[in-house]
Chain A
Amino acid sequence: MTMPSITAARLVALALALLALTACQSAPPQPFPDGAPTRPPQGCESLRERGGEC
Chain B
Amino acid sequence: MLKLPEAGADLEATVHAVHGWAMARFVYVPDLERWHQDLAPNGDHWETDAELLADLERAGRVLGDCDAFAKLCWLLLRRLGVPSRLVACQAETGGWHLVCEASGWILDNRMPVATPREDLERLGYRWHSKSDYEPGGQWTTA
| Residues on A facing B (Cβ under 8 Å) | 26, 28-32, 34-48, 50-54
Residues on B with beta carbons closer than 8 Å to the beta carbon of A53: 48-49, 135-136
Cβ of B127 < 8 Å from any Cβ of A?
A: yes
Residues on B with beta carbons closer than 8 Å to the beta carbon of A40: 129, 131, 139
Partner of B86, one of A35, A37, A39, A54: A54
* Closest chain B CB from A5 CB (angstroms): 40
* Closest chain B CB from A51 CB (angstroms): 7
Residues on A with beta carbons closer than 8 Å to the beta carbon of B136: 48, 53-54
Partner of A35, one of B104, B105, B116, B129: B129
| Residues on B facing A (Cβ under 8 Å) | 12, 40-42, 44-49, 67, 71, 85-88, 98, 101, 103-106, 116-118, 127, 129-131, 135-136, 138-142
A52 touches B41 (CB 8 A): no
Residues on B with beta carbons closer than 8 Å to the beta carbon of A54: 46, 71, 86, 131, 135-136
B98 touches A43 (CB 8 A): yes
Say whether, besides A29-B103, A29-B118, A30-B118, A35 and B130 are in contact (CB < 8 Å).
yes
Partner of B40, one of A28, A35, A39, A46: A46
Residues on B with beta carbons closer than 8 Å to the beta carbon of A34: 140
Residues on B with beta carbons closer than 8 Å to the beta carbon of A46: 40-41, 44-46
A31 touches B88 (CB 8 A): no
Q: How far is the CA of A51 from the CA of B120 in the complex (A)?
A: 32
* Closest chain A CB from B107 CB (angstroms): 12
B139 touches A39 (CB 8 A): yes
* Chain A residue at minimum C-beta to C-beta distance from B114: A29
Residues on B with beta carbons closer than 8 Å to the beta carbon of A35: 129-130, 140-142
Residues on A with beta carbons closer than 8 Å to the beta carbon of B46: 43-44, 46-47, 52, 54
B71 touches A29 (CB 8 A): no
